Amino acid sequence: MKRRSRIGDTVVLIALAAYALPFFWQFLTSFKPDALLMRLPPLVPARFTTAHYEAVWARSVIPRALGNSLGVAAITTVLALVLGLFAAWIGTVLRYFTYRLKHRFGLISAPPPEEIAPPPASLDPEWRVGIPVSTSPA
């Protein structure tokens, strides 16, 4: 069983290496000078250059596209967080209010379960208090 597992692991590693080889080659080629691009004997060049990257950043629309993508990603993330937090808050408040309405109209008589949290203190005080108690004599 152990030998079979090692053979399987070896096959998977060989497959991953074969899959990664074109990406490694492309990465190495991006740092080769123009004169060495079509020559194969020096697999790894003696001198690396960043001229290709400098040309991409200076003469293409990639920096602007990257900035636009980052801006859209940031706006989308903030919008999702704000809407998600608002929806969660509304869900909690509505769950409490609907329970209080059912309790007030006699549809249920049990006290609220512990998982229903009361709404924040900034809401109407009538909803925060259970049953109003009169202190004046009737």
Give residue-wise pLDDT tens across range 10-67: 999 999 999 999 999 899 888 888 888 887 777 788 888 899 899 888 898 988 999 9
**Is 96 within the bounds of a domain?**
no
**Is 36 within the bounds of a domain?**
yes
**Is 135 within the bounds of a domain?**
no
Number of domains composing the chain: 1
- Identity at 127, one-letter amino acid code: W
**Is 120 within the bounds of a domain?**
no
**Is 55 within the bounds of a domain?**
yes
**Is 111 within the bounds of a domain?**
no
pLDDT tens-digit map of 26-40: 998 888 888 888 877
**Is 41 within the bounds of a domain?**
yes
Q: What integer pLDDT is reported at residue 99 of this predicted model? A: 72
Range of the domain at 15: 1-60
Confirm if 116 and 96 have CB atoms less than 8 A apart.
yes
